[in-house]
């Protein structure tokens, strides 16, 4: 059971607000994670300007990170659907 299910029906606005804030926190955590990963992978030495190869590397790295995250999310959704949404993984 999620923390949000414990709120009464009168707290719908609060529930919606908390859900949005939780989603924002998850997005920020993902951004921080791929920033770290892609920085380590693509930035050899910091400079005042990104060269074309570094810019391409960063773009590709972020794209692959997003693709992988979406694939994992879709797989979990498929698994839940196959199990009837019971939540048992």
pLDDT of 24 over the 60 cut: yes
Tokens 């709120």 — which residue? 7
Q: Any idea where the domains of the chain sit in the sequence? A: 2-86
Give the pLDDT band of residue 3 (cuts 50, 70, 90).
low
pTM score, two decimals? 0.59
End-to-end Cα separation, the chain, in angstroms: 15
Q: What is the pLDDT of residues 25-78, one digit of tens each?
A: 988 998 898 889 999 999 988 888 889 999 999 999 999 988 998 899 899 889
* 87 vs 89: CA distance, rounded Å: 6
Which one has a higher pLDDT value, 51 or 7? 51
Query: Taking a C-beta distance cutoff of 8 angstroms, is the pair 42, 54 a contact?
Result: yes
* 78 vs 82: CA distance, rounded Å: 6
Query: Taking a C-beta distance cutoff of 8 angstroms, is the pair 77, 70 a contact?
Result: no
* 70 vs 23: CA distance, rounded Å: 15
2-86 belongs to which CATH class?
mainly alpha
The reported pLDDT for the residue numbered 53 is: 92
């Amino acid at each position: 059971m999620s923390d949000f299910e414990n709120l009464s029906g009168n707290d719908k606005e609060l529930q919606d607000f908390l859900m949005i804030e939780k989603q924002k926190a998850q997005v920020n955590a993902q951004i921080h994670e791929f920033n770290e990963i892609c920085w380590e992978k693509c930035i050899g030495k910091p400079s005042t300007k990104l060269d074309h190869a570094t810019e391409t590397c960063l773009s590709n790295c972020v794209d692959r990170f997003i693709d992988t995250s979406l694939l994992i999310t879709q797989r979990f959704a498929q698994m839940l659907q196959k199990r009837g949404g019971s939540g048992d993984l």
